Structure 1
Amino acid sequence: MSVTIDVSEHVAIVTLRWPERRNALGPQEADEVADAIDTAAGSGAAALVLTGEQAFCAGGDLPSILSAIDGATPADVESIVYEHFQKLARALRGCRIPTVAAVNGAAIGLGLDLALWCDRRFVARSARLGQGWARMGLIPGTGGAALLERLAPGLLWKLLGTDGELTVEEAAAHGIAEVVEDPVATAIEFATALSRAGTAALAGYVQLARTGLPDEVYLRDCARLQSHRLTSADFARRVERSGLSAKKA
């Protein structure tokens, strides 16, 4: 499966469709999703809804990542993080129409970061949210630390001191997301309401509302730090304990 784009008069829906791995993304899949966001942004729709089949995004696909970084230097890994995974961040940050995350199922690590990059977030009661990076001895490589701190100061440190999980009730209490019965339907309804303002006005709101989002300098720092974590002995030990291995070509 892949990623699909469904465009109506008011909304472009980008849906991740790798349900067999809960939409966990490797470098190639990250490129596909980023390209789909760019395409949807130019579709003429008033807003973009980002969602996933059966789950939102369970994070990075570790076997694919291990395969991509096998034998790579920190500089090589930095390029992989910046050019592929952070391509998602740049696509959402640069999207010229409002972005809405419709979170059904898991949004962990990279998945939570994707939701946080969106302008608004609707989550199902059954959604699972979390900053899963630290479990593997990694840092939020796609801007999640700054995004979470921007929305809910201090919450990142609380999550680091626990298991990293964030209940939907906590997300709502911190103003990170709104809990709804049907995130996709609610997001479409919201996009339709936004369309009444007109695309030119919405473009202005997008520019103003995203002031203060992580910039290129910040993302470069994330990529550099993550590259050293991914090539560390500590990460290798955590991978070995996890029982996961690189995907075979």
Structure 2
Amino acid sequence: MTDSVTWELRGRAAVVTIRLPQVRNALGPREAALLGRTISAAAAHPDALGVVLTGEGAFSAGGDLPAIVEAIEGRDAAGVSEFVYRDFQSMVRALRECPIPTVAAVDGAAIGLGLDLALWCDARFLGPKAKLAQGWATLGLIPGTGGAKVLQELLPGALWHLLGQRPMNADQAAALGVGVRSDDALAASVDLIEGWVPVGRPALEGYAALSRSHLPDDTYLQECARIQGQRLTSESFAVTAQAILAR
């Protein structure tokens, strides 16, 4: 494991932390794949009753644009779709298949891919610096990690009101029902999991499995990857990405 993603056991909570503060925890394909593997490794610890997903300095500001542009160079739409499914979507498959409950401790930016990660978790705490937005659309992309369906299930109709809008702060997001406002999102997440000690891991595994029927299946994720491959190889994305990178 590299230092860009780490995990540690805090009591009965397996805390997975994204540590790329220089880019506000934006993720390229390699970091995304590492995060997926780390979530699975953390959940496998026999003493863990839940997994907390968080980030150093931010939750995740989305995809790492320079890394993505580098990764798609020379690939056609089908080739890009393949690595979107293999690398980026490995994170959300790890959350969907996590044997124990997952909690997002969101403080700082959770944009686009970052918002998707928070939404895939079973519960969310929102710290005072939380900023949440559906940021894919500003790049001409779709929620390539399945966030459109997850958001639709959690908050029907909210997607259309978030497109192109400014980020929501913690109070606004909590008022919509995205998560629970907390002065210390990480501490609240760990405390929540500590409260599950009387329940025990076997029962928690049952609750986790039964509560995720609304999450996107692989057929949906493959369709997201297919559409995202088309968008990432489009001329409009190339123009937008070049303009952003030239700033």
Q: TM-score, normalising length from structure 2?
A: 0.96
One of 69, 73, 76 as aligned partner of 1:70: 73
1:93 pairs, out of 90, 96, 99, with 96
* 2:136 counterpart letter in structure 1: W
CA distance in 2, matches of 1:220, 1:121: 26
Contact 1:38 1:95 in 2 (8 A): yes
Q: Structure 1 residue 243: deviation in Å?
A: 2.9
Residue 210 of structure 1 aligns to a residue in which SS? coil
How far residue 99 of structure 1 moved from its aligned partner, in angstroms, is 0.3
Matches of 1:244 and 1:98, distance apart in 2: 42
Runs of 4+ residues deviating >3 angstroms: none
**Alignment deviations for residues 115-167 of structure 1 (CA, whole Å, 9 cap, x no partner):** 0000000011211111100000000000110011111111100112x425223
Matched with 1:147 is: 150
Question: 2:40 and 2:67 mapped to 1: Cα distance?
Answer: 23
| Paired position in structure 2 for 1:237 | 239
2:52 aligned with 1:49 = yes
Paired with 1:201 and 1:13, the residues of 2 have a C-alpha distance of 20
How far did 1:219 drift? 0.2
In 2, distance between residues paired with 1:17 and 1:170?
26
Q: Which residue is equivalent to 1:183?
A: 185
Question: Aligned-residue CA RMSD in angstroms?
Answer: 1.2
Give yes or no for contact 1:63–1:244 (8 Å, CA) kept in 2.
Answer: no
Looking at structure 2, the residues matched to 177 and 219 of structure 1 have their Cα atoms a distance apart, in angstroms, of 24
Within-5 A mapping of 1:200-219: 200-219=202-221
Aligned match of 2:106: 103
| 2:128 corresponds to | 125
**For the structure 1 residues 87 and 244, does the alpha-carbon distance in structure 2 shift closer, same or farther, using more than 3 Å as the test?**
farther
* Alpha-carbon distance in 1 for matches of 2:166, 2:157: 13
Using the aligned pairs only, state the percent identity. 50
Could you list the per-position Cα deviations for residues 62-102 of structure 1 after superposition, in whole angstroms to 9, with x for gaps in the alignment? 00000000010101000010000000010000000000000
- Is this contact kept in 2: 1:62–1:244, CA < 8 A? no
Offset at residue 187 of structure 1 (A): 0.4
Which one of 7, 25, 41 corresponds to residue 5 of structure 1? 7
Rounded to whole Å, the distance in 2 between the matches of 1:17 and 1:197 is 32
The DSSP-based 3-state class of the residue aligned with 1:49 is strand
What secondary structure sits across from 1:12 in the alignment? strand
1:244 Cα shift?
Answer: 4.7
- How far 1:2 moved relative to its partner? 1.3
Tell me, in whole angstroms, the C-alpha distance in 2 between the residues paired with 1:195 and 1:140: 35
**Unpaired segments ≥5 residues, structure 1:** none
- SS in structure 2 at match of 1:196: coil
Letter matched to residue 114 of structure 1: L
SS in structure 2 at match of 1:6: strand
